[in-house]
Amino acid sequence: MLEGIRVVEYATYMAAPGAGCILRDWGADVVKIEPPGGDPIRLFFRTIGTDYPDNPVFDFDNRGKQSIIIDTSKPEGQALIRELVKDADVFLTNVRPGGLARSGLDYDSLKELNPKLVYCSLSGYGLEGPDADRPGFDIASFWSRTGVANLTIPKGGEPFPLRTAFGDHTTSIAAAAGICAALVEAQRTGKGRLVEASLFRTGLYAMGSDLAIQLFFGRVASTKGRHEQNVPISNFYQSKDDKWFCIVSRQGETDWAPLCRVINKPELATDPRFNNAKGRRANNAEVVNILDAGFGAYDMEELAKRLDAESIAWAPVQTLAEVAKDPQAHAAGAIVQTPSSKGDGTTYASPASPVRFPGADDGPKGPSPAPGEHTRDVLAALGRNAADIDALYQSGVVF
């Protein structure tokens, strides 16, 4: 879909490289500019005391890209980036705004070189306000400051961290969408645009329904335990063989009688304590206890059949090991084969990009690059001759 689109990615870690990987999976050419020593995420496993030939965390966000290492603390390195941007369609960065402005790599500077450039800044908190230049990571900007961490804790509990790059990759999706919208405009008008994505704003959007309630009513309900739910049949339950699953009830009274049949207690369908939403809310703990006992009489395999027979919306609470074997994950194209960076033709399973285009080549376009693997190739494509390129290496501008 994005064949012929040229992206210059000046970014490290996960959120912005994740957006670049989505664009690459969808066909764009992506040149990844890394600092001397490479993107720190290349050291992800070494940091925790192990090392592998492949790095599935780095590879997930960088497969198919070209890598060039530039020392951007040098004016010559900054000039190289400007040279790359002159003919690019997209510039994607998560470098903090102040550093970009000092290097002459801010939007106002680069749009003078390339008026059709789509410039995407992905930051912790956005480009304006007192915290525009504050460093941002997803556990801080997306999870904690947005209220997501606080609201996710059951009442009386303690904060806990989100899983690796969860907020980063949610923001990757947002940034890729914004870039694509701006590309449509640029192709229609010939003029580029600044696209501003942030972990903070994406986190607020992800929690948007609760934030909308807070903004409208001035308050929002806390997250409650299983026995305190306002709608106790929308809840988590456990089978006889200790398998957890969730139920999502539909609006109104649609699901109470079917659930009573699932647990083989049809008489409860007309019990005045439970046969309407108000009664179930008033007796929520008892409803949960009844369903606990009813579901606990059946193994998950049997419960699945009974729930499906009554058209109840439910899903198992799976481990990632179970997800990896889930036939629906593979049927949905959510797991793809990524070429190994060892270069021996082998592949391994990896998460797919978030959107599928049936019939199109929307998967990995190659392995992740070694640090600076394509520096010479990228510079040659700019018209630099071998002597010029050697001089840049010798002066420490590129690696």
Same domain, 46 and 170: yes
Q: Are residues 381 and 298 in the same domain?
A: no
Do both 356 and 297 map to the same domain? Answer: no
pLDDT given for residue 49 in this prediction: 66
| pLDDT of 173 | 98
Mean pLDDT of 154-175: 94
What is the maximum alpha-carbon separation in the chain?
87
One domain, residues 284 and 239: yes
Q: How do residues 262-281 score in pLDDT, each as one tens digit?
A: 999 999 999 999 999 999 99
Band of residue 186 on the pLDDT scale cut at 50, 70, 90: very high
Calculate what percentage of the chain has a pLDDT beyond 90.
94
Q: Which of 318, 341, 370 is the last residue of a domain?
A: 318
* Per-residue confidence (pLDDT) for residue 129, from 0 to 100: 96
Strand 335-339 and strand 347-351: pairing?
Answer: antiparallel
Percent of the chain with pLDDT over 70: 98
Where a domain ends, among 284, 318, 352?
A: 318
Tokens for 355, please give them: 């959107």
Q: Domain count of the chain?
A: 2
For range 302-325, the mean pLDDT: 98
Q: Which of 399, 366, 339 is nearest to 53 (CA)?
A: 339
Tell me, yes or no, whether 121 and 165 share the same domain: yes
At 72-97, the pLDDT tens digits run 999 999 999 999 999 999 999 999 99
* 237/324 Cα distance (integer angstroms): 23
pLDDT at 374: 98
Residue 323 lies in a domain: no
- Band (pLDDT 50/70/90 cuts) for residue 160 is very high
Residue 314 has pLDDT above 70, yes or no: yes
Report the CATH number at residue 289.
Answer: 3.30.1540.10
> Does one domain contain both 189 and 51?
yes
Q: What is the mean pLDDT of the chain?
A: 96
pLDDT band of 251, cuts 50, 70, 90 = confident
Name which residue leads in pLDDT, 345 or 186: 186
Q: What values do phi and psi take at 218, rounded to 5?
A: 80, 10
131 assigned to some structural domain? yes
Backbone angles phi, psi at 128, to 5 degrees: -130, 165
What's the pLDDT at 343?
85
Res. 48: pLDDT tops 80: no
Question: What is the structure's pLDDT at 156?
Answer: 84
Q: Would residue 324 count as lying in a domain? A: no
Per-residue confidence (pLDDT) for residue 360, from 0 to 100: 95
| pLDDT reported for residue 290 | 98
Confidence (pLDDT) at 45: 85
Q: Which of 57, 39, 19 is nearest to 341 (CA)?
A: 57
Residues 66 and 145 in one domain: yes
Domain check: are 202 and 270 in the same one?
Answer: no
Structure tokens at 26: 């969808």
> 62: pLDDT confidence band, cut at 50, 70 and 90?
very high
Q: Is residue 43 included in any domain, yes or no?
A: yes
47 pLDDT band, cuts 50/70/90, is: low
Q: How many CA atoms lie within 13 A of 208 on its CB side?
A: 4
Q: What is the mean pLDDT of residues 292-304?
A: 98
Q: Are 114 and 189 in contact (CB under 8 A)?
A: no
Is 224 part of a structural domain of the chain?
no
Residues 375 and 272 both lie in one domain: no
Three-state SS string across the chain, please? Answer: CCCCCEEEEECCCCHHHHHHHHHHHCCCEEEEEECCCCCHHHHHHHHCCCCCCCCHHHHHHHCCCEEEEECCCCHHHHHHHHHHHCCCCEEEECCCHHHHHHCCCCHHHHHHHCCCCEEEEEECCCCCCCCCCCCCCHHHHHHHCCCHHHHHCECCCCCCCCCCCHHHHHHHHHHHHHHHHHHHHHHHHCCCEEEEEEHHHHHHHHCHHHHHHHHHHCCCCCECCHHHCCCCCCEEEECCCCCEEEEECCCCCCCHHHHHHHCCCHHHHHCCCCCCHHHHHHCHHHHHHHHHHHHCCCCHHHHHHHHHHCCCEEEECCCHHHHHHCHHHHHCCCEEEEECCCCCCCEEEEECCCCCCCCCCCCCCCCCCCCCCCHHHHHHHCCCCHHHHHHHHHCCCEC
* Residue 344 counted as domain residue: yes
Residue 339 has pLDDT above 90, yes or no: yes
Residue 192 inside a domain? The answer is: yes
Residue numbers of the domain that contains 121: 6-208+333-395
**Of residues 47 and 139, more confidently modeled:** 139
| In the predicted structure, residue 46 carries a pLDDT above the cut 80 | no
pLDDT average, residue stretch 57-84 = 97
Q: Are residues 275 and 148 in the same domain?
A: no
Q: Do 282 and 361 lie in a common domain?
A: no
Q: Does the pLDDT at position 9 exceed 90?
A: yes
- What is the model's pTM? 0.95
Top-confidence residue, 399 or 341:
399
331-355 mean pLDDT: 95
Q: What is the pLDDT of residues 113-134, one digit of tens each?
A: 999 999 999 999 999 999 999 9
Do both 86 and 193 map to the same domain? yes
Closest CA to 298 of 262, 324, 351, 252: 262
pLDDT value at 306 more than 90: yes
Domain edge (last residue) among 269, 293, 318: 318
Is residue 313 scored above 90 in pLDDT?
Answer: yes
What average pLDDT score do residues 199-215 get?
98
Flag whether 133 is in a domain: yes
Q: Please give the average per-residue pLDDT across 284-304, as a whole number.
A: 98
User: What's the rounded Cα separation, in Å, for the pair 19 and 31?
Assistant: 13
